[in-house]
């Protein structure tokens, strides 16, 4: 089974007030913390929706402004065209990164309950997500998950979703105490 890791990073960081992917946590930009945690779980790693130094980056598909689904769609197509079986998606702003779910049904997508960007998606879903994005005006991950019947997996840990500078300070404090 060949897995592509995809960091979904095309957001505008509106609530954060600056580029949150570049915000420093543990002496590294947030996106690099995420990449370091994901690398050992996947065969290859990409960043979707933005450029980042020393990482392979792809643009959202079909265009930007589709939210995380634009990044996931780009990753699914990259995976399918590159011979990957699955995409393991994560946001650039949530830590820690969970262990990749174990698949019991090779055709079933799954996601971490309450953290919809953490998911394992069969690459074969690429055409279905194309169709979904063409037919819908609701670009939420929740709607996509409901549409395809993805399986929720229980959350195994406390995740820190960093949307505001205060979230970064809180996460840094909590992660330091658990190290």
d(CA 61, CA 158): 31
Query: Could you tell me if 107 and 122 are in contact, meaning their C-beta atoms sit under 8 angstroms apart?
Result: yes
As a whole number, mean pLDDT of residues 58-78 equals: 93
pLDDT confidence of residue 127: 97
Pick the CATH number of 3-177 from 3.40.50.360, 3.90.550.10, 1.10.630.10, 3.40.50.140: 3.90.550.10
Report the greatest alpha carbon distance in the chain. 46
| Element spanning 116, H or E | strand 115-122
Arithmetic mean of pLDDT over the chain: 91
Pairing of strands 151-153, 110-112: parallel
Closest CA to 114 of 142, 81, 73: 142
pLDDT for 106: 76
| Structural contact between residues 16 and 38, judged by C-beta atoms closer than 8 angstroms | no
For the cut 90, the answer to whether the pLDDT of residue 179 exceeds it is no
56 pLDDT more than 90: yes
> Residue 48: in which H helix or E strand, if any?
strand 44-48
Domain ranges within the chain, ordered by starting residue: 3-177
Residue 88 has pLDDT above 90, yes or no: yes
pLDDT tens by residue, 123-155: 999 999 999 999 988 899 999 999 999 999 888
User: In this structure, are strands 86-91 and 115-122 parallel, antiparallel, or unpaired?
Assistant: antiparallel
Sign of the dihedral defined by the CA atoms of residues 99, 104, 107, 108, in that order:
negative
Q: Which of 1, 96, 102, 13 is nearest to 50 (CA)?
A: 13
Is the pLDDT assigned to residue 1 strictly greater than 70?
A: yes
pTM of the model: 0.94
* 96 against 124, higher pLDDT: 124
Q: What is the pLDDT of residue 158?
A: 83
Grouping H, G, I as helix, E, B as strand and the rest as coil, residue 46 is: strand
């Amino acid at each position: 089974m060949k897995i592509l890791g995809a960091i979904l990073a095309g957001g505008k960081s509106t609530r954060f007030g600056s580029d949150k992917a570049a915000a420093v946590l543990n002496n590294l930009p947030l996106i690099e913390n995420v990449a370091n945690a994901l690398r050992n779980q996947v065969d290859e790693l990409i960043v979707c929706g933005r450029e980042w130094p020393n990482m392979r980056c792809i643009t959202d598909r079909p265009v930007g402004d589709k939210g995380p689904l634009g990044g996931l769609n780009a990753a699914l197509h990259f995976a399918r065209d590159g011979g990957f079986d699955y995409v393991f998606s994560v946001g650039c702003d949530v830590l820690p990164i969970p262990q990749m779910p174990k698949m019991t049904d090779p055709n079933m997508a799954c996601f971490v309950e309450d953290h919809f960007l953490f998911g394992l998606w069969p690459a074969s879903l690429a055409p279905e997500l194309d169709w979904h994005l063409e037919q819908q005006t609701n670009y939420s991950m929740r709607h996509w998950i409901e549409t395809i019947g993805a399986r929720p997996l229980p959350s195994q840990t406390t995740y820190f979703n960093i949307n505001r500078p205060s979230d970064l300070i809180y996460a840094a404090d909590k992660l330091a105490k658990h190290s």
